[in-house]
Amino acid sequence: MNQGLRQRLGNLGGLALALAVWTVYAVYFSPAQGWTFFFQLSVNGIILGSVYALIALGYSMVYGILKLLNFAHGDVYMIGSFIGFGVLTLLGGPLNPAIPVALLVFCMFVVAMLGSGLLGLAIERFAYRPLRDAPRIAPLISALGVAFFLENSALLLFGSQFRSYDGFELISYNGIHLGGDNGVFIQYLGVIVIVGAVLLMLALLGLVRWTRLGKAMRAVSFDREAAGMMGIDPDRVIAATFFIGSALAGAAGVMFGLLFSQIYHLMGFLAGLKGFTAAVVGGIGSIPGAMLGGLLVGLIESWARGYLNGNVSDLVVFGVLIGVMLVRPSGLLGTPALQKV
């Protein structure tokens, strides 16, 4: 067993222990709310975390391959949610859908993912590729510029009014009761989001592990120059990575709209930061790490909102980010950078 793997397993063990201690505390030593409350918050957290995980994957993939923090990624997610909303509106809206609801939702996801993916391609082609060999600060600044460009473009195109998906009206207010009527309740919409996110993540894992493109992505991530010498076209692989990461962000945007109804031009900023936090906590560059980080951020946010009065969830989430960085600078499933001496 190599040292990196041992360290990752150790991190996972530590995380499992911390979660177990917290669960026992929340269930047995928090009598005011009890176990149902804890598990309800956990379910809510997993649903929210699924969205964050999809956003985090884009950050992680791009960082893994380019060592670039793509701060425009949160705004790609925002554009994705608007594309989904556009499809919903074009096809009759939530109250009078012109086609069967399942087909409508499918169309929303497909078009939003395609649109966001193409946007990701365009961003890579025009904002990052020309700066490929520039100092690392240059693409970072370019990423910030793209983020503002997208936010203000959305403001011009869609206005700054909130748009409402009315996801519950479209799909259903009903759901599944676990543990009786007073037990944990999961809306069908929540189930769709979790299942959708898991399927997308598994598809991504499969793509990276078992396809030629995935192999090429891993090769470019490991050493771009060497991969180029082996006949891989790094530009195409990087473009494909942007497309896939952005498409996942588009799917996350639609999921968010369906779940929480409100979308607006500035929604990408905080969600992007949370996705970035998830990617860093999980170990930026690691796909399973991004998924784990997303779920963890969602859970922590949900627990903080439930157990703490006021609105301090962001304080807790970003506090955890700082804590993880201090204890495990490479994240829970990240590989520590080797220092050549």
Q: Which residues bind another protein (CB under 8 A)?
A: 33, 37, 40-41, 44-45, 47-48, 159-162, 164, 166, 168-169, 173, 175, 182, 185, 187, 189, 256, 259-262, 264, 266-267, 270, 301-303, 305-306, 309-311
Q: Tell me how far, at minimum, the Cβ of 186 lies from another protein, in Å.
A: 10
Q: Tell me how far, at minimum, the Cβ of 108 lies from another protein, in Å.
A: 18
Q: Tell me how far, at minimum, the Cβ of 101 lies from another protein, in Å.
A: 16
Q: Tell me how far, at minimum, the Cβ of 178 lies from another protein, in Å.
A: 13
Q: Given the complex with another protein, which of 34 and 288 has the nearer CB atom?
A: 34
Question: HSE of 26 in the Cβ direction (CA atoms, 13 Å)?
Answer: 20
Burial track 236-267 (b if 16+ CB lie within 10 A, e otherwise)? ebbbbbbbbbbbbbbbbbbbbbbbebebbbeb
Q: Given the complex with another protein, which of 25 and 173 has the nearer CB atom?
A: 173
Query: CA-CA distance, 135 to 138, in Å (whole number)?
Result: 6
Q: Given the complex with another protein, which of 148 and 173 has the nearer CB atom?
A: 173
Q: Tell me how far, at minimum, the Cβ of 124 lies from another protein, in Å.
A: 29
- What is the DSSP secondary-structure string of 251-318? HHHHHHHHHH-EE-TTHHHHHHHHHHHHHHHH-TT-HHHHHHHHHHHHHHHHHHHHHSSSS-HHHHHH
Q: Given the complex with another protein, which of 9 and 176 has the nearer CB atom?
A: 176
Residue with tokens 């600044």: 141
Give the CA dihedral 329, 332, 336, 337, nearest 10 degrees: -70
Q: Residues near 18 by Cβ (< 8 Å), separated by ≥ 6?
A: none
Residue with tokens 């990752």: 8
Task: Please name which of 77, 73, 54, 53 lies closest in space to residue 63, comparing C-alpha atoms.
Answer: 73
Q: Tell me how far, at minimum, the Cβ of 154 lies from another protein, in Å.
A: 12
Q: Given the complex with another protein, which of 48 and 280 has the nearer CB atom?
A: 48
Q: Given the complex with another protein, which of 45 and 139 has the nearer CB atom?
A: 45
